């Protein structure tokens, strides 16, 4: 088995992958897209990818791939607390009040926006592929340039950096949902499945179309825990909707709602039904 994740080692995605799979099965990729494409092409059995952060919302690279390119299924969700630190090269630790640049993944820069505004307002920020990549960059270049990385404490340790600030995330309850995706539909028994995610596309646009589709869930007493629109990437004003459905009824009832939506000319793309694991 081969399981892909957004690398290098020390990324949050790596932390989740390592908590679920054997070290020898893990393979690092440069981007979420590369990771998902490798599952799609059969080069990987599975991938562990972030899907949503509690503070910054949906990870669009993941959702867009699964809707537009993928024929992949979600087989498991994992929720992990995300704590960021600010780390520098050990030889720069004494000069850390004179930083010339801060590197990180866009999600991490966004999750620490307020902290950066208050403490490092004028320091230029540079986006890199992952938080661990920023730690790797600082380890390689941080001796000459007074640059810092926003990454996990584990990544800082792994790359031999000195931590100059801990838990710098703006929200104390910062958490990210990760999905394990594969080409196979989940075979887990229904009693373990907690949620189902689907993408809804409306093929006609008249007053009440979305309302009628959502009514297919509400009159069956099926609870939705999330609805979000994303551009269809065709023209301005055209969207698909991500729906997260709580599985507290037989799946056959949810499938009846899908049938009703089809009769209303709505299209449902199933992303999968999955159990949820909370990582402490």
CA separation for the pair 32, 72 (Å, rounded) = 14
The reply to whether 130 sits near ligand PRE by the rule CB under 6 A is: yes
Q: Which of residues 187-216 bind ligand PRE (CB under 6 A)?
A: none
Per-position x/- string for 62-81, each x denoting binding to ligand PRE as judged by CB under 6 A, each - no binding:
--------------------
Task: Give residue for tokens 């931590």.
Answer: 163
Distances (CA, A) of 255 to 148, 196, 251, 259, 268: 50, 11, 6, 6, 10
How far is it between the farthest Cα atoms of the chain? 67
Could you tell me how far CA 77 lies from the centroid of its own chain?
10
Nearest alpha carbon to residue 47 among 90, 81, 11:
11
Which tokens go with 101? 């640049």
Q: Does 53 bind ligand PRE (CB under 6 A)?
A: yes
Q: Is residue 17 close enough to count as binding ligand PRE by CB under 6 A? A: no
Q: For residues 151 and 10, what is the distance between their CA atoms, to the nearest angstrom? A: 8
In the complex, the smallest distance separating the C-beta of residue 9 from ligand PRE, rounded to whole angstroms, is 10
Which residue's CB is nearer to ligand PRE, number 108 or number 158?
108
Q: Which is nearer to ligand PRE, 127 or 227 (CB)?
A: 127
From candidates 82, 116, 158, 273, binder to ligand PRE by CB under 6 A: 82
Token pair listed for 180: 């394990």
Indicate whether 182 belongs to the interface with ligand PRE (CB under 6 A): no
Among 3, 4, 8, 12, binds ligand PRE (CB under 6 A): 12
Which position among 131, 154, 162, 197 is part of the footprint of ligand PRE (CB under 6 A)? Answer: 131
Which runs of consecutive H residues, i.e. helices, occur in 22-144? 32-40, 60-64, 106-111, 113-119, 131-141
Closer residue to ligand PRE in complex, CB, 20/107 = 107
DSSP for 84-103, please give it. -EEEE-GGGGGGTTS--EEE
Angle between helices 209-218 and 251-263 (to 10 degrees): 160
Report residue 247 as tokens: 């599985």
Candidate segments 5-13, 68-76, 113-121, 187-195, binder of ligand PRE by CB under 6 A:
5-13
Q: Is 136 in the site for ligand PRE (CB under 6 A)?
A: no
Q: How far is the CB of 114 from ligand PRE (least distance, A)?
A: 16
Only one of the segments 34-42, 126-134, 198-206, 242-250 lies at the binding site for ligand PRE (rule: CB under 6 A); that segment is: 126-134
Q: How far is the CB of 11 from ligand PRE (least distance, A)?
A: 3
* Residues lying near ligand PRE in the complex (CB under 6 A): 6, 11-13, 50, 53, 59, 82, 105, 107-108, 130-132, 176
């Amino acid at each position: 088995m081969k399981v892909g994740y957004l690398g290098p080692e020390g990324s949050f995605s790596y932390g989740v992958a390592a908590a679920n799979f054997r070290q020898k099965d893990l393979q690092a990729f440069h981007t979420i897209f590369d990771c998902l494409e490798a599952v799609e092409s059969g080069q990987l059995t599975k991938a562990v990818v972030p899907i949503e952060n509690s503070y910054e919302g949906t990870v669009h690279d993941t959702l867009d791939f699964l809707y537009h390119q993928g024929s992949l299924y979600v087989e498991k969700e994992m929720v992990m607390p995300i704590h960021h630190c600010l780390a520098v090269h050990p030889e720069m630790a004494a000069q850390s009040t004179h930083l010339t640049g801060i590197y990180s993944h866009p999600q991490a820069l966004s999750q620490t926006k307020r902290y950066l505004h208050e403490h490092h307002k004028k320091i230029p920020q540079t986006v890199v592929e992952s938080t661990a990549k920023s730690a790797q960059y600082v380890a390689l270049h941080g001796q000459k340039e007074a640059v810092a990385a926003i990454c996990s404490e584990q990544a800082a340790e792994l790359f031999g950096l000195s931590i100059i600030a801990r838990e710098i995330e703006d929200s104390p309850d910062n958490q990210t949902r990760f999905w394990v995706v594969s080409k196979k539909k989940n075979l887990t028994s229904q009693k373990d499945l907690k949620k189902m995610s689907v993408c809804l596309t409306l093929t006609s646009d008249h007053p009440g179309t979305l309302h009628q589709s959502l009514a297919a869930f509400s009159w069956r007493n099926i609870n939705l825990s999330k609805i979000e629109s994303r551009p269809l990437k065709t023209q301005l004003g055209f969207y698909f909707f991500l729906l997260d459905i709580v599985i507290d009824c037989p799946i056959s009832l949810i499938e009846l709602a899908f049938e009703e939506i089809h009769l209303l000319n709505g299209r449902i793309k199933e992303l999968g039904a999955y159990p949820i694991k909370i990582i402490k």
